[in-house]
Chain A
Amino acid sequence: MLNTIIIVASVLIIGILLSIFRVTTLVGVIKGEGKSNVGSGNKTQATLMMLFLISGIIGFFYFSFGGLDESYVQPIASKHGVVTERLFWITMGITCTVFILTQIFLFYFAFKYQHSTDRKAYFFPHNNKLELFWTGVPAIVLAVLIISGWRAWVDITAIAPDNAEVVEIMGYQYAWAVRYPGADKKLGDYDYKEIDATNQLGIDFSDRNAFDDFVPREIHIPKGKPVEFKIRARDVIHSVYAPHFRLQMNAVPGMPTRFWFEPTKSTADMREETGNPDFNYELVCNKICGKGHFAMKYIIVVDEPAEYEEWYAAQDPWLKVNADYLSQVPENLKEAAKIASKIENIDEIQSVDGLSIGSFK
């Protein structure tokens, strides 16, 4: 019923609008509008141009400087983030100046030079000096921006320092898996053919470096120390994006990538700064990857260095947690694997494991 009323009402409204349109058109024809090529609306349009300019500029400044309910700048928590943020606002200053000036010229000229029958336009086909000027000035300004951007880029993408903490991040539909190198500080090999429901990362246990690698539920990184993310994906392209660290790098299947940075504020610092006791750094997927693209969240915790060491030492190697994967370790390395992964009594664990399997059955 309601639908019918809506449909009838819309038809009526459209009908009325059409009638008004037809009547005004006919009145216009009778009045003899449209004989000259300058419509009577010319002045109105010129005025509207000016009105748009003024309200546009007011709106721009109002909303850019505090008119919005929320801040649109995410607090920065990395060393290079400060550099790029500075560059961002310098670029913003320059572009906004150009933006405002050119828009003023555009709409003001449109208003000022509206048609008048007792004036003729100024025949001004070209002016080499003027054109050289506005080819040259943008070229110089852009050169400055390019060079400062390029220097920042070179620093950011340089090889990570040797003392960087290494974290492996792997994207898959629709979550992240994270691996740390463990006590030996060396990430073990991986092979995508080793991936199964438990061994999400495809850790390759024929490499002894893998024995002490651990896979935590959250990323922990130390404040004030360089951190290198080694990034990969196992199904489609994902993108490791952490807006607070101004960090982003695609995760590409078959082509490992990396990004290193230095966090400058611990999670606790940030909770204090933002006044939000529940604040957490979030890792976000930023490359379309399928149905769950919008839900690939992972928490990053920035610890004070001492806390971090403590946390790091307390993690159990993945192999210890999933001791049945010992069977994948080559015979000659089994002992080494047990030692590295701190598996003290293999028989005991196997029996426990046997029990759990039994109970499933």
Chain B
Amino acid sequence: MSVTDIQITEDLAHDDHHEEHHEQSFIEKYIFSTDHKTIAKQFLITGILWAIIGGGLSIIFRLQLGFPEMSLEWLRPVLGKWITATGKLDSEFYLALVTMHGTIMVFFVLTAGLSGTFSNFLIPLQIGARDMASGFMNMLSYWFFFLSSVVMFVSLFIETGPASGGWTVYPPLSALPQAIQGSAAGMTLWLVSMVFFIASTLLGGINYITTVINLRTEGMSFSRLPLTIWAFFITAVIGLLSFPVLFAAALLLVFDRSFGTSFYLSEIYIGGEALPNMGGSPILYQHLFWFLGHPEVYIVLLPALGITSEIIATNSRKPIFGYKAMIGSMLAIAFLSFIVWAHHMFISGLNPFLGSVFMFLTLIIAVPSAVKAFNYITTLWKGNIVFTPGMLFSIGLVSFFISGGLTGIFLGNSALDINLHDTYFVVAHFHLVMGSASFFGLMAGVYHWFPKMFGRLMDERLGYIHFWMTFVGVYLVFFPLHYIGIAGFPRRYYSFTNFDAFSSFTDLNAFVSIAAILTFAAQFIFLFNFFYSMYRGRRTPLNPWKSTTLEWTTPIDPGHGNWPGAIPKVYRWAYDYSKPGAEDDFIPQHIPLSSTPESNLDHEKELAKSEGVADKKS
């Protein structure tokens, strides 16, 4: 700790930058703020609100699946006419619930809530920048997201219900209001909302990329960037390349829905009439959607993996194992993520030859993923592990990443996908590897960077309780789903009683539902802890986790511009933990090599010499 303090005073002494201090109005400071830290908090809190809604929706449909006989009359005050006269959930609204749960979780919670929060918060702080490249664009990014949120939220309450064709909104179901009520105004709002959302993501992404490339502090070369920043950077690039394709897909869908075109529609007879549309292809939409949809999985997952890399290294008091391999595997994943999309379409009627090609490409992507998992485990090996709640969530993430990743090997194999496609096996797979893993990344990040965000610590014991209830709960919810998936239970089914083949496992479904309710309930412990600690938590020390990265060199409550004095220079990578010879078990990035001769490695000794020269010159 002493080392850090000295460095800061030194920086202050050399400071020739005087903060122009002017009072900001409440609106400037908290609402239309251009400060990346405030924008990050806005993303986080909006994301949390969405997570409660998205999770709540899933509890309603889990009640239906677990207890099909139960009367849901008590939900009538909330759901109104979506509870039928007999006290059951309307089967069409069930689909709306499933759809909105997916949309909210994937886009609003795990894309905006995770990437939006931590890219915004950490990029300037960890690369040593005063703010994002464009604070104004950054503000726009949040407010487009907010607008998108409002539209999507409104769609929950309209007469015909929200979009209900599944979160992938495949046409013709999503194109024809005759096919399902949710494809009326609900779908229109869904599309409008997504357009704003895409605009938000692009504004954010351009900013992240520009900031990382241009605003790194002196000495912060790409090979010294913390893995979090690498992850956010790569995520932003993926998003920038793939979200416009979703925009195209959505635009064509708008045309088909409202202007009588036939991009996705052909030879349809519905509601007693033959439609005039000819020559379109529903498969075209699937290609466009999954060209975003698959990279989207990594847009959701990579930031979580980046956060985990950072937290696991810090709390194992060890450098992350295979820093370069981690970057390499992220780059490989990013590249491959664009050429595997059709594995979602093996049985869509796709040419079987294409199916073969995509099977090969898909299974290749398992290799860099495996490398990442092994590297995390090796980072733990011979560590000196501190179990902060952030660390627990990171370990949980690795566990889910492995469990869910391995089932991907089944689904990426087209021959096996024939029987598993759209069953609960798929549900179990992506909820573990993408949903829960990313959610755990989000939680890990919140616990870890809460002190930096709010200057206070979250309560550790509540964090432990929250972790164990959630971790065990997630496994109890999603692991059993593999069994009913292997048994062939189709997803998005309102009830299974119509089929002899699916008449079993009623107890298991009830069990899963109970586990889901408990897991959801556990999140309120987190919510309490989060909001309570924001105001009443214990004040944090400057560097509570003894971390090496730059954000911990800012004051406890960093103001506008992050560092009151000059921005610190960077002399080493982010993972000098437990370096042999060093007195402390961490050396922050801004400590010159020349001041740590006792722990320098051979190649660093050379660097240390030139460092002294460079510093004198400047």
Interface residues of A (CB under 8 A from B): 21, 24-25, 29, 34, 37-39, 41-42, 44-46, 48-49, 52, 56, 60, 63-64, 68-74, 81, 83-84, 87-88, 91-92, 94-95, 98-99, 102-103, 105-107, 109-110, 113-116, 119-127, 130-131, 134-135, 138-139, 142, 145-146, 149-150, 152-154, 156-157, 172-173, 192-193, 195, 197, 202, 234-237, 239, 241, 243-244, 246-250, 252-255, 257, 276, 278-280, 282, 284-295, 297
Contacts and interface: CB of A to CB of B under 8 A. Distances in A.
B395 interface: yes
Contact of B269 (A29, A37, A195, A241): A195
A278 B499 CA distance: 12
Contacts of B395: 49, 106-107, 110
B360 A37 contact: no
6 contacts: A99-B403, A120-B578, A125-B321, A150-B415, A156-B418, A291-B180
A192 B413 contact: no
Interface of B: 91-92, 95, 165-166, 170, 172-173, 176, 179-180, 265-270, 272, 274, 278-283, 316-325, 347-349, 352, 355-356, 359-360, 363-364, 366-367, 370-371, 373-378, 380-388, 392, 395, 398-399, 402-403, 406-407, 409-410, 413-416, 418-419, 421-423, 457, 459-462, 464, 468, 471-472, 475, 479-480, 483-484, 486-488, 490, 492-496, 498-501, 504-505, 507-508, 538, 544-546, 575, 577-580, 585
Given A74-B487, A291-B92, A130 B378 contact: yes
Contacts of A282: 499-501
B317 A121 contact: yes
- Ranked nearest first, the 6 interchain pairs of A and B with the lowest CB-CB distance are A254-B266, A243-B488, A157-B352, A45-B387, A122-B382, A121-B578
A95 B406 contact: yes
Given A72-B486, A149-B413, A290 B268 contact: no
A105 B377 contact: yes
B387 A42 contact: yes
A252 B349 contact: yes
A130 B410 CA distance: 26
Nearest to A69: B507
Which of B380, B475, B484 is packed against the most chain A CB atoms within 10 Å?
B380
A153 B475 contact: no
Given A113-B385, A290-B179, A294-B494, A29 B173 contact: no
A126 B180 contact: no
Contacts of A150: 356, 359-360, 414-415
A327 B462 CA distance: 77
A245 to B, nearest CB: 9
B381 A236 contact: no
A246 B487 contact: no
B416 A142 contact: no
A124 B387 contact: no
A114 B387 CA distance: 8
A37 B546 contact: yes
B91 A110 contact: no
A124 B483 CA distance: 40
A109 B367 contact: no
B490 A87 contact: no
Contacts of A105: 377, 381
A46 B486 contact: no
A255 B283 contact: yes
A84 B418 contact: yes
Given A68-B508, A243-B488, A248-B421, 13 more contacts: A21-B459, A37-B546, A49-B395, A68-B483, A69-B507, A103-B403, A120-B317, A135-B325, A135-B371, A244-B501, A250-B349, A255-B281, A291-B95
A248 B419 contact: yes
Contact of B495 (A70, A83, A294): A294
Contacts of A46: 385, 387
A338 B315 CA distance: 84
A250 B285 CA distance: 15
Contact of A153 (B321, B359, B464): B359
Contacts of B422: 239, 241, 248, 286-287
B170 A153 contact: no
Nearest to B494: A294
B398 A237 contact: no
A115 B269 contact: no
B219 to A, nearest CB: 19
A124 B166 contact: no
Contacts of A131: 322, 325, 371, 375
Contact of A241 (B95, B267, B460, B490): B490
Contacts of B265: 253-254
B488 A74 contact: yes
Nearest to A36: B386
Nearest to B585: A120
A60 B355 CA distance: 33
B506 to A, nearest CB: 10
A15 B74 CA distance: 25
A269 B166 CA distance: 38
Among A56, A95, A99, A237, which residue has the most Cβ atoms of chain B within 10 A? A237
Contact of B95 (A45, A83, A248, A288): A288
A68 B367 CA distance: 33
Contacts of B359: 146, 149-150, 153
A44 to B, nearest CB: 8
Contact of B490 (A88, A116, A253, A284): A284
Contacts of B461: 24, 41
A138 B370 contact: yes
Contact of A70 (B283, B423, B505): B505
A126 B324 contact: yes
A290 B95 contact: yes
Contacts of A289: 173, 179
A246 to B, nearest CB: 4
A73 B612 CA distance: 69
A121 B505 contact: no
Nearest to A135: B371
Given A114-B385, A255-B266, A290-B92, A109 B501 contact: no
Nearest to A147: B360
A60 to B, nearest CB: 8
- A44, A123, A127, A239 — which one has the most chain B CB atoms within 10 A of its CB? A123
B282 A288 contact: no
A83 B416 CA distance: 10
Given A123-B578, A295-B498, A252 B282 contact: yes
Contact of B173 (A87, A234, A236, A285): A236
B347 A250 contact: yes
A52 B406 CA distance: 20
Contacts of A235: 172, 176, 179, 268-270
A74 B488 CA distance: 8
A102 B400 CA distance: 11
A113 to B, nearest CB: 5
B403 A153 contact: no
B349 A84 contact: no
A237 B170 contact: yes
Given A113-B316, A293-B492, A98 B380 contact: no
Contacts of B374: 102, 134
Nearest to B270: A235
Nearest to A287: B422
Nearest to A95: B406
A74 to B, nearest CB: 5
Contacts of A102: 373-374, 377, 402
